[in-house]
Amino acid sequence: MTESRVFRGVSGAFAALLSVIFLAPFCYVLLSSFWTGNGVNFMPYYDVFWAQSQYMLRFWRSLGLCLCVGLGQLFVSVLAGFGFAKCRFPGRDVIFFGLMILMVLPVQVTLVPNYIMMGQLGLLDSYLALILPLIFAPLGAFILRQSFASIPENIIDAAMLDGCGIPTIILKIAIPMNVSGLVCAFLLSFLDAWNMVEQPIAYLRNFNYYPLSVALAYVPPADVPIHLVCCILVVLPCFLLFAFFNQELVEGITLAEVK
Partner 1 sequence: MRKKSSGYILIAPLVLGCLVFYLAPFLLVLRFSFSAGSGKSIRWVGLENYQRLIQNDSFALAFGNSMKFFAVGLPLIMVLAYLIALLMQKQTGRHKLLKSVFLFPYIMPVAGTVLLVDLFFSEMGLLNSLLNIMGLPAAQWMEGSSAFWVTIGLYLWKNVGYAIILLLAGLITIPSDQYESADLDGASTWQKFFFITTPQMWYSVFFALVFSIINGFKCFREIFLIGGQEPGDEIYMLQHFLNNSFESLNYASLSVSSILLLTAILIFFGVFYGFVNRKEAYRT
Partner 2 sequence: MKRVILCISVLAFWLLTFSTFFSMRVEEWMVPSVTTIEPEFSFADHIGHAPLDCLFETEMGDEIFTVYEGTMWDAGIRARILLSTDYTVTPEDVQLMSDPIIEYATKTPRSGELVEVIINPERSEDYWLAVSKDGALPTLGELANGVIIEEQTERELLLYIEKVPLPFMEKRAQSMVPIAKIEDDFTPWMDDNREIDWESVDWEAVEVARPKAPSFYSLIDIEKWMAQMPKIGLLAGSMLASLSLWGFSCILSREWKKNRKLLIANGFFMLLLLSALPILLHYIDLPSSLLPSTHIVDLGYYAREFGDIFGALNHFAAQGSQAADDAINQAKSMLWMSGGLATAVSIITIGLCVTEIIFSKKRRVHYAVKDRQHEEK
Question: What is the binding site for partner 2 (CB under 8 A)?
Answer: 43, 46, 49-57, 59-60, 207-208, 215, 219, 221, 236, 240, 243-244
Q: Is residue 135 within 8 Å of 72, Cβ to Cβ?
A: yes
Q: Compare residues 14 and 60 and give the one whose CB is closer to partner 2.
A: 60
Q: Is residue 119 within 8 Å of 228, Cβ to Cβ?
A: no
Q: Compare residues 122 and 220 and give the one whose CB is closer to partner 2.
A: 220
Does residue number 216 form part of the binding site for partner 1 (CB under 8 A)?
yes
With CB under 8 A as the rule, give the number of residues binding partner 1.
Answer: 89
| 19-58: contacts with partner 1 (CB under 8 A) | 19, 21-23, 25-26, 28-29
230 binds, among partner 2, partner 1, none (CB under 5 to 8 A by kind): partner 1
Alpha-helix runs per DSSP H in the chain: 5-34, 43-46, 54-86, 92-104, 107-121, 128-135, 139-148, 153-161, 166-168, 175-177, 179-194, 198-203, 212-218, 224-244, 246-255
Q: How far is the CB of 81 from partner 1 (least distance, A)?
A: 9
Does residue number 9 form part of the binding site for partner 1 (CB under 8 A)?
no
Picking from 151, 104, 134, the residue whose alpha carbon sits closest to that of residue 200 is 134
Does residue number 155 form part of the binding site for partner 1 (CB under 8 A)?
no
189 binds, among partner 1, partner 2, none (CB under 5 to 8 A by kind): none
Q: Compare residues 34 and 242 and give the one whose CB is closer to partner 1.
A: 242
Burial of 234 (0-12, 13-18, 19+ CB in 10 A): buried
- Altogether, the residues listed in the chain come to a count of 259
244 binds, among partner 2, partner 1, none (CB under 5 to 8 A by kind): partner 2
Query: Which of 30, 56, 63, 95: binder of partner 1 (CB under 8 A)?
Result: 95
Q: How far is the CB of 44 from partner 1 (least distance, A)?
A: 13
236 binds, among partner 2, partner 1, none (CB under 5 to 8 A by kind): partner 2
Neighbours of 122 (CB within 10 A): 10
Query: What is the distance in angstroms between the CA of the first residue and the CA of the last residue of the chain?
Result: 28
Q: Compare residues 82 and 245 and give the one whose CB is closer to partner 2.
A: 245
Taking the C-alpha atoms of residue 122 and residue 77, their distance in angstroms, rounded to an integer, is 26
Q: How many Cα atoms occupy the beta-carbon half-sphere of 91 within 13 Å?
A: 3
Q: Is residue 29 within 8 Å of 211, Cβ to Cβ?
A: no
Does residue number 128 form part of the binding site for partner 1 (CB under 8 A)?
no
Site string for partner 1, 221-240 (x = CB under 8 A): ---x--xx-xx--xx--xx-
Q: How many Cα atoms occupy the beta-carbon half-sphere of 57 within 13 Å?
A: 7
Q: Which stretch binds partner 1 (CB under 8 A): 34-42, 53-61, 99-107, 175-183?
A: 99-107
Does residue number 89 form part of the binding site for partner 1 (CB under 8 A)?
yes
